[in-house]
Each structure stands twice: as structure tokens, then as C-alpha cells.
Structure 1
């Protein structure tokens, strides 16, 4: 991912309309779209300046100039009815991002776009991290840890982070955002390998749930994009232990109900043969498992009500 990709900056609705078809009908596994959103103090009360989309099958980055296009960036359609807004809201078109919260807040607050089908790389790193999960990693720290040899890339990343908040759509910011979008693909490759084994199914589920919680929380009026607690994680040791216990309970319930976990589809299906993974030795009380399972996402509303970080 260190090699330069072709980058096209889109500043007119007519050009955008001809490019939309290049962003759809791609494979979802691995994800085809990797996205970076940049703005001046990104959030609903500020602005979105640009959206960079790395389309992996085409090995090309498209930088949409939202400063120039405004709402046309999201509402322009092609002959098939495709629009950027539809792509962003599609649950069947995976889009890989790093920390969805502020981008989601800005998209929803400024353009009423509700993100769906999001894969949050920041949460993938958190799930795989050994030791404390109390704090979230920055994009730069993830890149430095996984790509120690890419000093040129880090120079671009650092340039972008220092200049954010006072940019026009200059060459430096375009390069930064485009490079960030392509590097998301590299990070996804690394983390997805670590999360693929059957014994990581719980973490994959937690990543999906927490991503949805982040999106929903970011759309609330009280969400603060500049919160001093934004780098804190909700995944403290107590939470993880409780979630793991509930996961094991659900696992036993699903097995007793004749379900199997399809690792390829990453979901429960009827019948068949499957190897199962449980945190602890639970076979001895399998027969005593109660008739009901917990609500898999019931913890979300409680955390939102309590103002917990995600």
C-alpha cells in the first residue's frame, strides 16, 4: 500500500455523475471502498471539505470536493440512480473508515446522511490489542506500529494532522486524505487476518455492535466532536468480562436451538456441522442453560443513556 495510487479530484456534478458507477457493484469481501472524511474541525457545526474514496478493485482514489459541490456531492445521480448518499447509506456496500464518529456527526448534521455498512478500523485494532483497552489508538499510531518503514507516508500523515482546521483544498491535504484512504486498506488487511479465526467471533460481533452505537450516538444533538474523553474506550475490563459471559450464554443457547455459526458469513445459520469456541469450559452446565438469551445489543441504549464513550 505504500505505492502511489491514481488520484482524481472531483469538483463538478457532471464529472461526479460519470464516476458513481465506478464505485458500485464491487465485491464486499474484502471490502472495496475505503473512505476518509476531512473538514475544518469536522462536525455538524463546522464543515466537510472533502471525502476521499479509495476503490480497491480499480486501485484509484476519488477525492470529492464537498467545499465546491455542497449538497450536489451527495444528491447527484447517474443514469442508474446511484448517488454518493445512497452509497454511504447502503448496508450491503461495506465502507472502511477510521473512527466513524466525527465523520458521521458531520454527514448527518449537515446533509442528513445516515451512514450504514461501516467497518471501523479503529475498533479492529482495539479488539486485537493485548493488554489494556481503556484508550483508543490514533491513526498515526496504528500506521507507525504496522508500517515502521513507511517514513514518507508518516510525513504526509503528520502534515495533514498539523494543517487540519485551516485548510483550503490544497495539494497537501488532498495527498494526505488520499493516502490515508489507501492506507486504511493496508490496516484492514492486517487486522482482518487477526480477527478471522473462529475464536475471534465475539470480537467481530462487538466491533459491529460498537460501530452502530458510535453512529447512533454521533447523530444525537448532544454529541461533542471535540470531547476531551473521545480517546477513551468503553471496553474496560469489567465490560469485556460481562460481554464475554453474555456471549457464552448466547452461544450455548444458539447451539441448543440447533444453530451453527458460519465463519465465512460471520453469522448464525440453521443446521450443519461447526466447531465452537467458548471462553471457559462450559460443557458441564450446558444442560442447565435457561430458555432465553440476552438481547445481543441491549447494552447500547444503557450506555447511551449513561453518556459512556464509544
Structure 2
């Protein structure tokens, strides 16, 4: 972790360098965190952090050169971190490790803001990929879908799998690929949506991302239900003076 923090610390901020996702069993305050995935754009490299094994040490271990920690990076407003629907990830970070995420750019909200059709409901990651938003070739999209399907068969209960596969060590190759591709696709989605955002919409997305983090930390937060598919009011409602 010390060596990884050295890699993460001081990366460029425009465009964002750090793209993050979590995997776990019932991810959130009532479940556990198994794996944290980070894609570092300037390095074109994905890293999988074993939270199941390391626990809090993954966030508190200092860099050997600066003394900074991963927790400090996650909580820094000055360091942009990109997530796809930050709510469950934020809930897990805050509930299990006391981490208040900051500097968040939520790609799911960026997609919502760039639509030219109704914004009432958000899209899932797979829908964004299938629709072509990541600008993948047909071959790349087929490979992404195949890896996604193989992973789901292993962990999704409705497919006969179990989320406990994220805690098995060593990770199966199918789960490793699933984890890597989920986070490595985010820079392409971010770039696609960012190119369409006006300055006003960009501010609204940043504020809505902060509101998602704050809501996920509330004692009343419920991470399952139809309400999770609804877009935030500040993005759903069209501002008349634009």
C-alpha cells in the first residue's frame, strides 16, 4: 500500500487520473468490502486492493516518501476521483472505515446531464456500454460483454452464483477480469460525457455528486429500492434560464 500511495499521489488532475470502484458482499453499511479497484489513467494500469485481507490498513498505511495515505487522497477535494454511482461505495467507505469521500465526479450523473431525452431515471453501467457511449469497437464491446457475463454467473445469486467469490483467494481469472474491466472502462465514459457538458451542467453534476456522498452517510440512507433509479432533482429539472 505504501508503494501504491506513491503511485497515486501527485497524479495530474485534468483530466482526472483516478477511477475507482468497490466490490463486496452486500456492499454498504450492512455488508462487507472485498476488493477496491483503481485505474490510474496516466499509467494505463489497473490495481486491485485486497480490502478483505488488509481492512483499515489499506487506507492508513503511509507513503514512504510523503507520509500521505490512501484515506487522505480519497478525502481530498483537490484530487478528483471518478466513480460510477458513488452511493454504495461512499456508504461502505464511510460506514466501515470512517472515510468521507470528496472531489467526486459521478459518471452516472454525467450521463444523465448530457441526455437529450428525459432524465427521470439513471442508467446502469452495462446500459451505457451497450448503447455505445464508451466508443468501443464491436470486438471490444463483445469482449466486455462476455467478461461481464462470466463474472455475473459466478457472483450473482439470480444466476446461481455467490458474492463470496470476491473473498476467495486467489481470485479466479474471471472475477479478476470482471473487476479490472469495470473500472478501466470509466475513463472512456468520462471523456465521452465530459465533451458534452456545458460549464453550468458540469457544476450541477459536481454538486449532485457531493449530495450523493452526503446522503449515503446519513443514518436514514437506504441503498436498495426503486428510489435508487431516480435522478437527482437538480439534474432532472430543466433550468428555464439556461
Same fold (TM over 0.5): yes
1:153 aligns with 2:155: no
Aligned to 1:212: 210
Report matched runs for 1:211-230 at 5 Å.
211-230=209-228
Q: Distance in 2 between matches of 1:161 and 1:122?
A: 21
Aligned-pair distance for 1:154? 1.5
Q: Which runs of 4+ in 1 moved over 4 A?
A: none
Q: 1:60 aligns with which of 12, 36, 45?
A: 45
Tell me how large the CA RMSD over aligned residues is.
1.7
- Say which of 114, 122, 133 aligns to 2:100: 114
- 1:72-125 residue CA offsets vs partner (Å, 9 max, x unmatched): 111111221121111111111111110000000011001100000111000010
Find the counterpart in structure 2 of residue 287 from structure 1: none
Q: CA deviation at 1:28?
A: 0.5
The Cα shift of 1:148 comes to: 6.5
Q: Distance in 2 between matches of 1:52 and 1:173?
A: 12
Supply the distance in 2 between the matched residues of 1:189 and 1:236 (Cα, whole angstroms).
22
Q: How many residues end up aligned between the 2 structures?
A: 225
- Contact conserved, 1:52 with 1:178, CA < 8 A, in 2? yes
Pick 1 or 2: higher relative contact order, CA cutoff 8 A, min separation 6: 2
Distance 2:76 2:38 in 1: 15
155-164 or 74-83, larger mean C-alpha shift: 155-164
Report the TM-score when normalising by structure 2.
Answer: 0.87
Pick closer, same or farther for the CA change 1:222–1:65 going to 2, 3 Å: same
Q: Distance in 2 between matches of 1:129 and 1:225?
A: 25
Q: Secondary structure of 2:30's match?
A: coil
Aligned residue for 1:179? 181
Q: Deviations over 1:120-146 (max 9, x none)?
A: 000010011121111110000011112
Distance 1:173 1:89 in 2: 28
Q: Please give the per-residue CA displacement for 1:272-301, whole angstroms capped at 9, x wherever unaligned.
A: xxxxxxx2xxxxxxxxxxxxxxxxxxxxxx
Q: Which of 169, 187, 190 in structure 2 is aligned with 1:188?
A: 190
Q: Does the alignment pair 1:43 with 2:43?
A: no
> Which residue of structure 1 aligns with residue 73 of structure 2?
87
The CA distance in 2 between the partners of 1:130 and 1:49, in whole Å, is: 37
* SS of residue matched to 1:166: helix
Answer whether contact 2:27 2:33 (CA < 8 A) is retained.
Answer: yes
Q: Can you give the 5+ residue segments of structure 2 that lack an aligned partner in the other structure?
A: 157-162
TM-score by length of 1: 0.69
- Residue 78 of structure 1 aligns to a residue whose secondary structure is coil
